Structure 1
Amino acid sequence: MKRALSILTIALLISSCNNKPQTNKLQKPNIVFIMSDDHAYQAISAYSDKLIKTPNIDRIANEGMLFTNASVTNSICAPSRAVILTGKHSHLNGKIDNLSKFDTTNVTFPQLLQKAGYQTAMFGKLHFGNKPKGFDEFKILPGQGSYYNPKFITQTGDTVINGYVTDITTDLALDWLKNRRISEKPFLLMYLHKAPHRAWYPHEKHYKKFTKKTFPLPETLFDNYKGRLAAKTAEMNILKHMHLAYDNKIDKEILKELNIYDGMARSEIKRMTTQQRSSWDSVYNPIISDFKKRYHKMNEKELTEWKYQRYMQDYLATIASVDDNVGRMLDYLDQENLSDNTLIVYTSDQGFYLGEHGWFDKRFMYNESFKTPLLIKWPNKVTPGTTEDEMVQNLDFAQTFLEIAGAHVPEDMQGESLIPLLTGNKEKWNRDAVYYHYYEYPAEHAVKRHYGIATKKYKIIHFYHDIDQWEFYDRSKDPQEIYNFIDNKDYADTIVEMKQKLEEIRAKYKDSEKLDNYYIELYNDLKTR
């Protein structure tokens, strides 16, 4: 299919610093961008300590700013990363889903920082593309990557590194900082963790502890989805769609004995060394044996709760390793006196459901996947321990970093620089709503295509393609988003206003029904190839 939407090559105009003293170049701040995959804000103790303590990630908030209304534009891995790199919504950068290819004619902020004099490096999970542009050095996982003994793609070829992926990613980043960083240049370090992406294989240090823990059940674990057709038909329910083998780590032979069909195996197990497997089995085999004894006595409620606890034990244990390693990074920056001139960001490529609405995974514009953690430390600029509730998005990172670096910002970037919020000049921030658009349907988890806007108080969503349904939420009165008030007469005027605002924002960001139809056609074409 001839591509109907072209992305123009941008003529780069980089601000010259040749007429400035060398000392001014050195004053440009370093940027350390730390991102985990599917890290729910509910699983960071700076937001809530009900599930886990994350003291090292919390350090960034304690020494900087915690954003409570940060969100994504498209809650799925590769598209989110494309938005971050390009500063453009999915419909303009072309990476609408995990299936479509990333258009390499897009100009990314690391390319512009590199041209502005920054040394650049990326380590960990990119998710798409094997040769990211704008990096002096990279070592990235192929696709989703592996937790144990992972393979990495480098500029000189592929290599397998023995160990645990979260530790290895940190080792690679620290090795670059220690041995190949050019002290005379500012640097951009993109330090990107695979964890806590499905299927949540923890480090031995943490699975020995977390498999013994019990976690509080979410209030909406048994949501009945009344008034929300798209939610009711989605396939990410913990009871119905979470795999006992792949996700909960039950051996498939045991499942056969119990007459349970489970289509996905424990693939990560095969990557383990003999010693790693022995340690794993010593902890997980007793869990498997206990499940075998209890299974036929469980009703659906009990099985749901059992699967939820297993999910939380492994998911949170992988986060404990992330927190350990963020601590290693922060300690190094402090020890080498780099912290004072370094902007540090901690975020995720989107949020994640930790049993809310009975779900795992993401994709929806509902709060737990739409909202993403964001913590930023910038010494002498950000007041330590501050909280910010303005509506910000992953769309905003590119402009923020480029402005901080004094680099050229292309006109087609669509975000807003966060600098006014970071530096206490809130009067210069005027965004009152953010835009969201999800495309990957029909596909895994069966989350229907939808777009919408959110303000601090309200949210309106339009589900389209195979249905035509609207949902409206009062975020202040119904933070769990279980009451669709679209037909409630008390909100009639507000709904009209929100629909009008949605159309205005769609036009502002150059999204349209024509593009919706184009991407449906493109997706169908890719699916049949």
Structure 2
Amino acid sequence: MVDFFTERAVDYIEERGDHPFFLMVNYDAPYLLPPTNLGPDFRNRFYYMFVDKKFDTFPRTAISDEMLSLIRGPDDPNRYSRHMLYNLMRMHNDPASMANVCAQIAIVDDGVGQIIAALKDKNLLEDTIVIYTADQANLFGQHGLWGHTIQTRPSHLYDAAVRIPFIVRHPSLPSNYVSDALCSQIDLPSTVLDMVGTTRQFDQSAGTSFKALLQGEDHQRSEVFFEQEESRGVRTDQFSYWCRLPGAGPNVLFNHNSDPLQTENVADQPEYSHVVAQLHQKVTEFFSQYSDPRYDILNAGQAKGSISSETFLAPLMPEGWTATTTSTT
């Protein structure tokens, strides 16, 4: 799939003519869930590069109690959720699965390299904004977990799962410049339009342009917000705070100054009560303003895509609530 999309992208660049263009290449990799990522994958031409490596950057941790608590019986390939759970645990600390991850990343890197080369060959690279990013991150051992934020009940919002790569290349931008400023995916449309010389306000969007940040200047965003089904959160420079649908699980607060790896929940410690109150208000106000009531799960809404934990959520919802996937045109 990755090679297919790379080939189509290169064909488009070579055949597009002289008109301005927008090209979005959505790779379905690295896909870090089983069975795709379970064990070795000798079909990937890059897999052999990573066989028998040490993988020092992969955490070696015990399987999380959060994941172990979901076991409801022996593995059963005919029960999707249970089989997924067991396979995620099989991937944990497994060198073959780690090599699989690296090989998937390598095939994406190779594809991006081919697209950059095509732009250069057509003398387009110096007049093209190139953005490399992702829709989400994945855990590969951090906190004793593999996979997405929905692999626990309630969902988690660890930095390792909600922070994503973001790399921008354009001749007008400083090279080798790295920033740790807070930005959000909702800022991306305004930023891209700003970079091409136009502006537009998007209805019901909290996004703002961070073009100035890309140019090495200050960016005035003090927090970013995120959610996964019944869990919502806010990230500031110093804190991460998560709140849940009542009854779904405890609220969580991490102090990044003393706990950058997010290992100690301090939400119930008295000295942080004012921080919890302040951040909880921020989350409440943000989602009250920007959530579409139809898809506001914390207020008995549905999902735009799908809900993975209906049996977990249903007892916490008003009588008659069901997890109905809603589509819009």
When the two structures are superposed, what TM-score results if normalisation uses the length of structure 2? 0.76
Q: Which residue, 320, 324, 327 being the options, matches 1:526? A: 324
After superposition, what is the alpha-carbon deviation per residue over 1:108-132, rounded to whole angstroms, capped at 9, x for unaligned? Answer: xxxxxxxxxxxxxxxxxxxxxxxxx
Are 1:331 and 2:171 matched, yes or no? no
The residue correspondences of 1:272-287 to structure 2 (distance < 5 A) are none
Match of 2:25 in 1: 191
| CA distance 1:496–1:507, shift in 2 (3 Å) | same
Match of 2:275 in 1: 494
Instruction: Quote the Cα distance in structure 1 between the aligned partners of 2:135 and 2:228.
Output: 14
| CA distance 1:232–1:322, shift in 2 (3 Å) | closer
Q: Which residue, 178, 182, 193 being the options, matches 2:17? A: 182
Partners of 1:395 and 1:414 within 8 A in 2: yes
After superposition, what is the alpha-carbon deviation per residue over 1:247-306, rounded to whole angstroms, capped at 9, x for unaligned? Answer: xxxxxxxxxxxx9754489xxxxxxxxxxxxxxxxxxxxxxxxxxxxxxxxxxxxx9687
- Aligned partner letter, 2:299: N
Match of 1:390 in 2: 181
Partners of 1:170 and 1:325 within 8 A in 2: yes
Other structure's SS at 1:205 match: coil
Are 1:309 and 2:95 matched, yes or no? yes
Q: Answer 1 or 2: higher relative contact order, Cα 8 Å, separation at least 6.
A: 1
When the two structures are superposed, what TM-score results if normalisation uses the length of structure 1? 0.49
CA positional deviation for 1:390: 1.1
Are 1:435 and 2:225 matched, yes or no? yes
- Aligned partner letter, 2:258: K
Match of 2:315 in 1: none
Match of 2:128 in 1: 342
- Aligned partner letter, 2:285: E
| CA distance 1:347–1:202, shift in 2 (3 Å) | farther
Instruction: Quote the Cα distance in structure 2 between the aligned partners of 1:233 and 1:463.
Output: 21
Match of 2:299 in 1: 517
Other structure's SS at 1:392 match: coil
Match of 1:379 in 2: 171
Other structure's SS at 1:351 match: coil
Instruction: Quote the Cα distance in structure 2 between the aligned partners of 1:488 and 1:260.
Output: 39
Structure 2 unmatched runs, 5+: 81-88, 150-155, 308-321
Higher strand residue share: 1
Instruction: Quote the Cα distance in structure 1 between the aligned partners of 2:250 and 2:214.
Output: 38
Match of 2:161 in 1: 369
Are 1:505 and 2:286 matched, yes or no? yes
Instruction: Quote the Cα distance in structure 1 between the aligned partners of 2:141 and 2:301.
Output: 31
Instruction: Identify which range, 393-402 or 486-495, moves more after superposition.
Output: 486-495
- Aligned partner letter, 2:24: M
Aligned length: 288
The percentage of aligned residue pairs carrying the same residue is 23
Instruction: Quote the Cα distance in structure 2 between the aligned partners of 1:462 and 1:173.
Output: 41
Other structure's SS at 1:375 match: strand
Other structure's SS at 1:389 match: coil
Match of 1:472 in 2: 253
Are 1:172 and 2:12 matched, yes or no? no
Are 1:454 and 2:257 matched, yes or no? no
Partners of 2:51 and 2:99 within 8 A in 1: yes
Larger radius of gyration: 1
- Aligned partner letter, 1:169: F
Structure 1 unmatched runs, 5+: 1-164, 226-230, 242-258, 266-302, 440-448
| CA distance 1:471–1:306, shift in 2 (3 Å) | closer
Instruction: Quote the Cα distance in structure 2 between the aligned partners of 1:476 and 1:202.
Output: 42
Over aligned residue pairs, what C-alpha RMSD do you find?
3.2
